[in-house]
């Protein structure tokens, strides 16, 4: 049992790949010992092997793949982050790739080959059995990021007149069952799904019971052209583990399972997080050049925002020269507004992604955020107003600082919810540019309010 945990140190997180295993892999490569490498990989999950490949340098990765050779596991390729996967598939000989993918489910094969250049894609498809090749080609004919690309063709289908015994006998004798499945899909003679029978329910019923008596007729069939983010939402909303996919005529063409849906949910959440932070589709394995190229546009947008805020400040240069305290205190107002706006923005973008923020509750949520901004603005107005008074001994300076704080926190809350909602109405990704807009607004409003009030009241 202790050997099962050899990849974990006492100080390591549970299931984290530790340095010793990575070093053992590199030692096996250095010694050119394929047997040692295979022995290490034999005790590891495919996801752990993928983690190792992602953590080592590109040169070491190429050496590992060359030594692994004809034993390359296609399941490992499906676990890799996109950049590493593309590099490996580009460098690996076609005959090795063909051997690695031939036993994968069709959805995994589609995932691996959809971004390959046509010549390499064709060679891999030629290595598949005729039935698998046709299934993969049909999946590739659907639009990217839709249920048609996400689904797998391997599924367990049964007619309505079958009994539990018929279904069990069929599954025991079949040689092409999917590796993982959760439901038996019941269809009518036209191949339209009419219900699903969970495996647990099937195995607990008597052999003579008809599937039509056990099936759940209240299931969710997913049209083949449904966007993958909608697929993930349906799975999450209705707590599903699998769902049949139907074509435009309602005929069964595939099935989507929970692992694929959860992967889409994870990708969507990661994408929103990166865009809110002003980061492109970079990965830890991305090169310096790629990372810098992806981050540059967002930094350029921030530069424009900063220049705009600087222009606002320049309009009050005389006031700042007359009272140096203004220069000391004005970043507080802008910074607090930016943080408040980011808080509201993050919650709003996530609520839009999960469909929790809709036209039905939009006004109520907007009102709540306005109230939150006002309450926090009043609380921090008292706090920073007192700081301004005791710091510089000027009570009116504290009043100006407090009023500016109230105004900017209120605007920040309003911008944090209205900007992403507005972008979504326009058909844009609410996470894409919301951060830049909200930051610009809070900076401009913060500086303008504070310096403008100071000019009117103090000077």
- Give mean pLDDT, residues 7-22: 63
Cα–chain center distance at 414: 27
Residues of the chain with CATH 1.10.357.20: 288-457
Give the pLDDT confidence score for residue 9 in this predicted structure. 47
Cα 43–46–52 angle (5° rounding)? 85
Give the pLDDT confidence score for residue 204 in this predicted structure. 93
- Give mean pLDDT, residues 329-353: 89
| pTM for this entry | 0.71
pLDDT of 11 above 50: no
**Angle, to 10 degrees, between the axis of helix 34-42 and the axis of helix 58-68?**
100
Give the pLDDT confidence score for residue 428 in this predicted structure. 78
Cα 341–343–345 angle (5° rounding)? 65
- What's the pLDDT tens digit per position in 202-231? 999 999 999 999 999 989 999 999 999 899
Interatomic CA distance for residues 270 and 89, integer angstroms:
24
Give the pLDDT confidence score for residue 14 in this predicted structure. 52
Give the pLDDT confidence score for residue 295 in this predicted structure. 79
Average pLDDT in the chain: 87
Give the pLDDT confidence score for residue 175 in this predicted structure. 83
Query: How many angstroms separate the Cα of 274 from the Cα of each of 85, 197, 318, 387, 439?
Result: 20, 40, 40, 36, 16
**Which long-range CB contacts under 8 A does 284-292 form with residues at least 24 apart?**
284/54, 284/81, 285/54, 285/58, 285/81, 285/83, 285/84, 286/83, 290/83
Number of H helices, E strands in the chain: 22, 6
pLDDT of 425 above 90: no
With beta carbons less than 8 A apart as the criterion, state whether 26 and 56 touch.
Answer: yes
Interatomic CA distance for residues 200 and 335, integer angstroms:
56
User: Pairing mode, if any, of strands 193-198 and 183-187?
Assistant: antiparallel
Interatomic CA distance for residues 434 and 342, integer angstroms:
9
With beta carbons less than 8 A apart as the criterion, state whether 349 and 276 touch.
Answer: yes
Residues of the chain with CATH 1.25.60.10: 2-147
CATH number among 1.10.3720.10, 3.60.15.10, 3.90.1150.10, 1.10.357.20, domain 288-457: 1.10.357.20
Cα–chain center distance at 161: 42
- Overall size of the chain counted in residues: 459
CB 105: neighbour CB atoms within 10 A? 22
CATH number among 3.10.580.10, 3.30.530.20, 3.40.50.11720, 2.60.130.10, domain 157-258: 3.10.580.10
Residues of the chain with CATH 3.10.580.10: 157-258
With beta carbons less than 8 A apart as the criterion, state whether 251 and 194 touch.
Answer: no
- What's the pLDDT tens digit per position in 356-380? 888 889 999 999 999 999 999 999 9
For the ranges 2-16, 53-67, 113-127, 359-373, the lowest mean pLDDT is seen at 2-16
With beta carbons less than 8 A apart as the criterion, state whether 223 and 246 touch.
Answer: yes
Give the pLDDT confidence score for residue 15 in this predicted structure. 59
Cα 300–304–306 angle (5° rounding)? 110
Give the pLDDT confidence score for residue 7 in this predicted structure. 46
With beta carbons less than 8 A apart as the criterion, state whether 256 and 151 touch.
Answer: yes
With beta carbons less than 8 A apart as the criterion, state whether 394 and 322 touch.
Answer: no
Give the pLDDT confidence score for residue 13 in this predicted structure. 55
Which of the given ranges, 86-90, 141-145, 155-159, has the highest pLDDT on average? 155-159
pLDDT range class, residue 8, cuts 50, 70, 90: very low
pLDDT of 72 above 90: yes
**Angle, to 10 degrees, between the axis of helix 106-113 and the axis of helix 130-140?**
60
Domain 2-147 has CATH 1.10.20.10: no
Residue 193 per-residue DSSP state: E
Percentage of the chain exceeding pLDDT 70: 95
Give the pLDDT confidence score for residue 437 in this predicted structure. 81
Query: How many angstroms separate the Cα of 353 from the Cα of each of 229, 230, 232, 430?
Result: 9, 10, 11, 9
With beta carbons less than 8 A apart as the criterion, state whether 448 and 308 touch.
Answer: no
Give the pLDDT confidence score for residue 433 in this predicted structure. 67
- Give mean pLDDT, residues 164-173: 95
């Amino acid at each position: 049992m202790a050997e099962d945990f050899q990849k974990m140190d006492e100080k390591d997180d549970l299931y984290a790949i530790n340095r010793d295993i990575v070093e053992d892999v590199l030692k096996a490569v250095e010694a050119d010992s394929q047997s040692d490498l295979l022995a290490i990989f034999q005790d590891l999950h495919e996801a752990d092997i993928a983690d190792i490949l992602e953590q080592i340098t590109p040169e070491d990765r190429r050496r590992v793949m060359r030594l692994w050779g004809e034993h390359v596991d296609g399941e490992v390729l499906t676990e890799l982050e996109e950049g590493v996967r593309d590099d490996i598939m580009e460098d690996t000989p076609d005959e090795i790739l063909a051997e690695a993918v031939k036993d994968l489910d069709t959805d995994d094969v589609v995932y691996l080959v959809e971004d390959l250049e046509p010549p390499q894609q064709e060679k891999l498809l030629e290595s598949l059995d005729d039935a698998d090749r046709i299934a993969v080609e049909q999946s590739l004919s659907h639009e990217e990021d839709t249920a048609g690309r996400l689904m797998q063709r391997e599924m367990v289908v049964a007619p309505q007149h079958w009994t539990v015994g018929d279904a069990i006998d069929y599954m025991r004798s079949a040689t092409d069952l999917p590796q993982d499945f959760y439901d038996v899909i019941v269809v009518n003679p036209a191949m339209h799904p009419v219900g699903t029978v969970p495996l647990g329910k099937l195995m607990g019923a008597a052999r003579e019971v008809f599937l039509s008596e056990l099936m759940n007729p209240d299931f969710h069939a997913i049209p083949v052209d449904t966007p993958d983010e909608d697929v993930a939402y349906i799975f999450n909303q209705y707590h599903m583990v699998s769902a049949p996919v139907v074509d435009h005529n309602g005929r069964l063409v595939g099935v989507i399972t929970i692992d694929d849906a959860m992967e889409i949910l994870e990708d969507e959440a990661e994408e929103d997080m990166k865009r809110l932070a002003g980061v492109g589709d970079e990965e830890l394995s991305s090169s310096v050049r790629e990372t810098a190229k992806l981050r540059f546009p967002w930094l350029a947008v921030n530069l424009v925002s900063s220049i705009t805020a600087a222009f606002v400040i320049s309009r009050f240069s005389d006031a700042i020269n007359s009272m140096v305290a203004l220069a000391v205190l004005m970043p507080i107002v802008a910074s607090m507004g930016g943080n408040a706006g980011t808080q509201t923005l993050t919650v709003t973008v996530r609520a839009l992604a999960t469909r929790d923020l809709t036209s039905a509750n939009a006004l109520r949520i907007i009102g709540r955020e306005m109230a939150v901004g006002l309450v926090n603005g009043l609380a921090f107005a008292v706090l920073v107003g007192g700081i301004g008074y005791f710091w510089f001994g000027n009570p009116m300076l504290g009043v100006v600082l407090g009023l500016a704080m109230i105004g900017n926190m209120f605007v920040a809350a309003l911008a944090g919810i209205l900007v992403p909602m507005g972008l979504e109405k326009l058909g844009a990704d609410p996470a894409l540019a919301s951060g830049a807009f909200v930051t610009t607004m809070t900076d401009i409003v913060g500086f303008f309010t504070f310096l403008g009030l100071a000019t009117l009241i103090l000077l």
